[in-house]
Amino acid sequence: MTAVLSVGNVSVLEGNAGAQRAAVVVSLSEPHGSRVTVDYRTINGTATAGRDYNAVSGKLTFAKGETSKTIQIPVIGDRVPEVDKTFSVKLSDAKHAKIANRTGVITILDDEPRISISDVSTKEGNSSTTPFTFTVSLSAAYDQPVTVNYATANGSASAGLDYTAASGPLVFAPGQTSQAIAVGVNGNRLTGPGKTFQVSLSTPNSYAVISKGVGIGTIIDDEPRISISDAYNYGATSFTFAVSLSAAYDQDVTVNFATADGAAIGGVDYVATSGTLTFAPGETTKTIAVDVLDQTSMWDKYFSVQLSGVSTNALIANESAYGYGDGYWYYDPGYYYDPGYYYSDPGSYYDSYYAY
């Protein structure tokens, strides 16, 4: 059986000065009884000989029993940020062996630092200031100081009103890979949508690159939202509507409510109701009870409860909910009735007639 030769791939950090060595291994599949030789030479790819690496060529000789040889290729270090580059080593003219894989790829990994900044999303708070801490990172430790300049910029949030403008330099000492920027966000009890601002990076260092240069700060409004849920009545004497706060609050939250007619009429089918709900600090759920005047007349009818007049420290997420009378199925032992069709059949099911 004929021995075969193959050359491997390798990756190497370029370094910042001098020359690193790319060790390319050429292997023989099995020991051979006589000397095996093979020629090699480097070939440019995206990397260029004389600028990124030093070209080499020559002949490898495998003595009897040897199965591995190494080609050492100098890679030229620099402090120029650039993309990774490649070149290759090609085998040819083998003696006493065949070449199975004749091309090995060498990848020169650029090791200049890449700088990035995180995004931050945090609740604003109700008073004082909340720090929004942005993390600025280097892709890898460097052997020289790396300077990064930063500055905030308005988005939908305004400096002086929603947050405190900030700017300055950050200096990464040799070996350091992480720094923090703290931006103070002003807390308040005003309701509204979330807002954003930016922290932008730049660097005066020619050997550093910004890979993600803008961090987005999202100010989440944390005043509570009020919502009300639909209610269903299956022959009971009242409807119960649940009203909820999105989160517990440290002050009273108030909201007004009032019923409104639909197919069901206040004073005929149900008791028209209005009033004010007060959520005490820490409370998140309240209920509204609406009494039914005629249980049978509520079949396939509905009315609504409307929310309004919320206190300034909260928002209404959904302002109305419906109370639905039982029109899907009315149960009497042994029978299922459909009040829309006025038809019954023991043990059978029929779809309901909808009056709304």
CA distance 183 to 163: 7
3-state percent helix, strand, coil for the chain, nearest multiple of 5? 0, 55, 45
Q: CATH class for domain 225-338?
A: mainly beta
* Residues 323/241, Cβ–Cβ less than 8 Å: yes
* Residues 169/74, Cβ–Cβ less than 8 Å: no
The tally of CA atoms less than 13 A away on the side-chain side of residue 320 is 12
Q: Specify which residues 167 forms β-bridges with.
A: 151
* Residues 172/188, Cβ–Cβ less than 8 Å: no
- pTM, entire model: 0.73
Q: Specify which residues 250 forms β-bridges with.
A: none
Answer yes or no: CATH 2.60.40.10 is held by domain 114-220. no
- Equal fold, 4-109 vs 225-338: yes
CA distance 148 to 145: 10
Q: 153, 225, 164: which is closest to 192 by C-alpha?
A: 225
What are the extents of the domains in the chain? Answer: 4-109, 114-220, 225-338
CATH numeric code, 4-109: 2.60.40.2030
For every one of its 356 residues, what pLDDT tens digit does the chain have, with 9 covering 90 and above?
689 999 999 999 999 988 999 999 999 999 988 899 999 999 999 999 999 999 999 999 999 999 999 999 999 999 999 999 999 999 999 999 999 999 999 999 999 999 999 999 999 998 899 999 999 999 999 999 999 999 999 999 999 999 999 999 999 999 999 999 999 999 998 888 899 999 999 999 999 999 999 999 999 999 999 999 999 998 899 999 999 999 999 999 999 999 999 999 999 999 999 999 999 999 999 999 999 998 888 888 999 999 999 999 999 999 999 999 975 444 444 444 444 443 333 333 333 333 33
What pLDDT is recorded for position 299? 86
For tokens 């942005």, the residue is 134
Q: 260, 274, 268, 271: which is closest to 238 by C-alpha?
A: 271
